[in-house]
């Protein structure tokens, strides 16, 4: 792909005014070409098979096939396209599920034009685009998901000051097993000891006391 080739963008949104506004705004930007649009995920899939694009701007909340389902369907279909999800609401779990489904970026619909252009260029270049509080909460959510359910139980008890023996008694497991869980927690949280693990977990909202 030559450097001069424009970024081919496809937009999916069920609100005609939003769709028209995005298409109009992006069409004036050098190096960006809007190659198509759709009002729902099902229509988008059909059109993308005929009209390949580099990047998808995808509304998360739509009737019919929503944004998350569209990302999942794209993955199954083998269509190669990078995606930025758009929404009016900064819902942590929603963003996390979209990232799990393959989204590389996230934008609120009221983001300034400059931020949208920055996001499109960044994601097109292979980077991820998550900003501010959403980025922090997403990182925390992804870290939380890497801890097993048992590790979260152990971590909660650690934060309450229980010893390995006491934790083992509560969970009906051996002290050695508890120690293995504690070591795994320390490694995953990238901390130096159990005290720091508890402090970091509470500060990041991984566990609640």
CB 168 within 8 A of CB 178: yes
Please give the Cα distance from 124 to 119 (Å, whole number): 8
CB 87 within 8 A of CB 94: yes
Query: Which range of residues forms the domain containing residue 68?
Result: 7-133
Averaged pLDDT for residues 13-22: 91
Task: Let me know if residue 138 belongs to a domain.
Answer: no
- Judged against a pLDDT cut of 90, whether residue 92 lies above it is answered with no
pTM: 0.67
List the structure tokens of 34.
């809007």
- Judged against a pLDDT cut of 80, whether residue 143 lies above it is answered with no
pLDDT digits (tens, 9 = 90+) for 99-136: 888 899 998 888 889 999 999 999 999 999 987 777 77
Kindly indicate the confidence band of residue 1, based on its pLDDT and cuts at 50, 70 and 90. Answer: very low
Share the mean pLDDT of the chain: 88
Q: 75 CB contacts (<8 Å, ≥6 apart)?
A: 101, 102
- Residues 121 and 162 both lie in one domain: no
pLDDT digits (tens, 9 = 90+) for 31-77: 999 999 999 999 999 999 998 899 999 998 888 888 989 999 998 98
Whose CA is closest to 55, among 109, 121, 101?
121
- Residues 118 and 31 both lie in one domain: yes
Kindly indicate the confidence band of residue 177, based on its pLDDT and cuts at 50, 70 and 90. Answer: very high
- Residues 190 and 118 both lie in one domain: no
- Residues 129 and 151 both lie in one domain: no
- CA dihedral over 162, 166, 172, 175, signed as positive or negative: positive
Whose CA is closest to 55, among 117, 98, 97, 111?
117
- Residues 199 and 123 both lie in one domain: no
Residue 88's pLDDT is 80
The alpha carbon of 91 is separated from its chain's Cα centroid by a whole number of angstroms, namely 11
The number of domains in the chain is 2
Task: Let me know if residue 142 belongs to a domain.
Answer: no
Averaged pLDDT for residues 24-28: 92
133, 156, 172 - which closes a domain: 133
CB 128 within 8 A of CB 145: no
- Residues 126 and 153 both lie in one domain: no
- Residues 110 and 183 both lie in one domain: no
Task: Let me know if residue 1 belongs to a domain.
Answer: no
- Judged against a pLDDT cut of 60, whether residue 2 lies above it is answered with no
Sheet architecture: strand order including 55-59: 32-38, 7-12, 55-59, 82-87, 105-108
φ/ψ (deg, to 5) at 110: -95, 15
Residue 104's pLDDT is 93
CA angle in degrees (0–180, nearest 5) for 46-52-58: 70
- Residues 121 and 193 both lie in one domain: no
- Residues 109 and 166 both lie in one domain: no
Please give the Cα distance from 11 to 35 (Å, whole number): 9
Task: Let me know if residue 140 belongs to a domain.
Answer: no
- Residues 120 and 19 both lie in one domain: yes
- Helices then strands, counting H and E runs in the chain, come out as 10, 5
Averaged pLDDT for residues 159-172: 95
The CATH number linked to 158 is: 1.10.10.10
The CATH number linked to 81 is: 3.40.50.2300
Task: Let me know if residue 65 belongs to a domain.
Answer: yes
- Residues 76 and 162 both lie in one domain: no
133, 168, 191 - which closes a domain: 133
- Judged against a pLDDT cut of 90, whether residue 180 lies above it is answered with yes
- Residues 163 and 103 both lie in one domain: no
Please give the Cα distance from 187 to 189 (Å, whole number): 6
């Amino acid at each position: 792909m030559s450097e001069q080739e424009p970024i081919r963008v496809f937009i999916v949104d069920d609100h005609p005014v939003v769709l028209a506004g995005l298409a109009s705004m992006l069409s004036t930007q050098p190096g960006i070409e809007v190659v198509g649009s759709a009002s729902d995920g099902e229509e988008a899939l059909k059109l993308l098979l005929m009209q390949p694009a580099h990047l998808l701007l995808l509304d998360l909340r739509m009737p019919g096939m929503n944004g998350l389902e569209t990302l999942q369907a794209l993955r199954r279909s083998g269509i190669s396209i990078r995606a930025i999800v758009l929404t009016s609401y900064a819902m942590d779990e929603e963003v996390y599920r979209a990232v799990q489904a393959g989204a590389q970026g996230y934008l609120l619909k009221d983001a300034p034009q400059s931020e949208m252009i920055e996001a499109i260029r960044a994601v097109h270049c292979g980077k991820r685009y998550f900003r501010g509080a959403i980025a922090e909460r997403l990182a925390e959510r992804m870290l939380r998901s890497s801890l097993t359910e048992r590790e979260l139980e152990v971590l909660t008890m650690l934060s309450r000051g229980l010893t390995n023996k006491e934790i083992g008694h509560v969970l009906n497991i051996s002290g050695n097993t508890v120690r293995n869980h504690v070591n795994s927690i320390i490694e995953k949280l990238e901390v130096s000891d159990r005290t720091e693990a508890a402090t970091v977990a509470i500060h990041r909202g991984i566990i609640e006391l």
